[in-house]
Amino acid sequence: MALTTTPPAAPANTLLHLTNVGKTYGRAAKRFQAVRGVNLQIQAGEFVCLLGPSGCGKSTLLRMITGLNPASEGEVLYRGRRLDGVNPYATIVFQTFALYPWLTVQENVEVALKARGVAPAERRRRAVQLLDTVGLDGFETAYPRELSGGMRQKAGFARALAVEPELLCLDEPFSALDVLSAEALRGELMELWLNKSLPTQAILMVTHNIEEAVLMADRIVVMGKDPGHVVTEMVVHLRQPRQRKDTAFQALVDKVYAAVAGQTEPEVEALGTAPGQPGATEKLPTARINALAGLMERLESDGGRADLYRLGGALRLELDDLLPIVEAAELLSFAQVAQGDISLTPLGQTFATASILARKEIAAGRLLRLPTIRWIYETLQKDDNQRVAEDYFLDHLRSEFGDYAATQLDIAINWARYAEIFAFDDDTDELYLEKEAVAVTRTAGA
Ligand code: ADP
Ligand code: MG
């Protein structure tokens, strides 16, 4: 029995209720359990992110929720009713949204309405309005091939929204886009969601990007694999719009990261206090960021793990030169060393395979945890012009590091410049703040 088209008056605002849901693919000897024992609820008004490594069953879960695939075990309730067949209250947007190439943008949106029996005039009106909402006005008569990746994804959103789904499911909707288009589209989606301009009551978004989840979600559900299961859930109390560089933001990213990696993060206290503050400051290893990136790439191509001694030989580095790079990788939680072997962490792996811009974002998140870098960043932030003489920092660093002060500042600048946190002005001998990263909520289409 399929769901009827009018939802029963729900006693609570619970839209989705999964109890002990599991999924097994294949049969007999080829049986494979992809997901097991998932309990999850989604209330109206919530933006929930499902986060976890590749292969942990995120897409499988979405397919069971939208009814594209049946669950093998447990119960999927939508508004208190057992789901059987396609869920008419939920739609899904995939990583790359399949638009019909022979239809215009507007026709692509209308298709969804036509399938629901909406009359032609009303179809046109709604399609035009939705395209306007997602910032595609003016492109109604364009064909998909004439659009950029970001615009095609927006057309996909418009088509998914056309049927006014109560529950909008997004499966890594930004991961096929370049970093800048992804950031712009995230901002636009958040703006529509926070303004309540979407005809939708809840969003369930799948991602493997920790920062994306912390940026957007009210609640983060962390999944692990073998078989896919829920590890933990975290409520995000940060106010919107959120800033990636905020301390509270980074602290939550760390916490989520630890849950994803299944390990406890080194305590921030272990990194010491800021220069000039009572207590020792952890010294930054004297490794240039390009060398660190090179090491990450090398490890990635070696399958994520290598013998340190042999690695030194392969990279033609003396141990004295290799060790600070390894130490930097550990400090940023990109790698772990045990018994002479170095292995990439999930974060290090992500870094190694990411685009340049994504790498900068990841690096910024990690670097701002380091007391010296955070101290410089915050000092610059407090300055009216966001510029402070190099000598000011050197004086404080000297009290902590003596003769190594200049090297420490040099490394801090090298790392921070890469991550676009702050940089050094040769003409004035000042450090200055790089432009703040794009705020999440920004004007649509701006
Ligand atoms: P995720 O979206 O988190 O990357 P998926 O839900 O796509 O994970 O896949 C979870 C696991 O189930 C993976 O090991 C995948 O290979 C397997 N899987 C997914 N779909 C099928 C299928 N149709 N048949 C067999 N195995 C599948
Ligand atoms: Mg997937």
Token pair 């272990």 is found at 270
Helix (H, G, I), strand (E, B) or coil at 137: coil
User: 207 in ligand 1 pocket by Cβ < 6 Å?
Assistant: no
Give the side-chain half-sphere CA count within 13 A for 147. Answer: 28
Residues 302, 254 share a domain:
no
Residues 238, 317 share a domain:
no
For residue 268, being part of any structural domain is answered with no
For residue 284, being part of any structural domain is answered with no
Which pLDDT belongs to residue 417? 94
Residues 36, 140 share a domain:
yes
Residues 224, 364 share a domain:
no
Q: Name the residue with higher pLDDT: 264 or 191.
A: 191
Residues 307, 250 share a domain:
no
Backbone angles phi and psi of 106, in degrees to 5? -65, -40
CATH number at residue 225: 3.40.50.300
Q: Minimal CA–CA distance to 84: which of 106, 94, 97, 69?
A: 69
Which sign does the torsion angle of CA 204, 123, 152, 98 carry?
positive
User: With 60 as the cut, is the pLDDT of residue 339 above it?
Assistant: yes
Q: Ligand 2 center to residue 56 CA distance, Å?
A: 8
Residues 300, 241 share a domain:
no
d(CA 315, CA 334): 18
pLDDT band at 16 (very low <50, low <70, confident <90, very high): very high
Q: How many residues does the chain have?
A: 446
Residues 319, 418 share a domain:
yes
Residues 297, 238 share a domain:
no
Residues 99, 26 share a domain:
yes
User: 226 in ligand 1 pocket by Cβ < 6 Å?
Assistant: no
User: Number of folded domains in the chain?
Assistant: 2
User: 100 in ligand 1 pocket by Cβ < 6 Å?
Assistant: no
In 13-97, which ranges are continuous DSSP H helix? 58-65
| Tens digit of each residue's pLDDT (9 = 90 or more) over 376-427 | 999 999 999 999 999 999 999 998 888 889 999 999 999 999 999 999 999 9
Of 259, 276, 306, which residue is a domain's last?
Answer: 259
| Tens digit of each residue's pLDDT (9 = 90 or more) over 114-134 | 988 899 999 999 999 989 888
Residues 435, 390 share a domain:
yes
Residues 373, 239 share a domain:
no
Q: Which of 21, 25, 50, 231 to mutate to test the pocket of ligand 1 (most atoms within 8 A of CB)?
A: 25
Q: Minimal CA–CA distance to 104: which of 87, 133, 134, 124?
A: 124
Residues 135, 53 share a domain:
yes
Q: Ligand 2 center to residue 169 CA distance, Å?
A: 12
Of 219, 243, 259, which residue is a domain's last?
Answer: 259
Q: Which of 24, 32, 231 to mutate to test the pocket of ligand 1 (most atoms within 8 A of CB)?
A: 32
pLDDT band at 270 (very low <50, low <70, confident <90, very high): low
Q: By residue range, what is the domain housing residue 218? A: 3-259
For residue 278, being part of any structural domain is answered with no
Q: Ligand 2 center to residue 313 CA distance, Å?
A: 38
Q: Cα–chain-centroid distance for residue 337?
A: 26
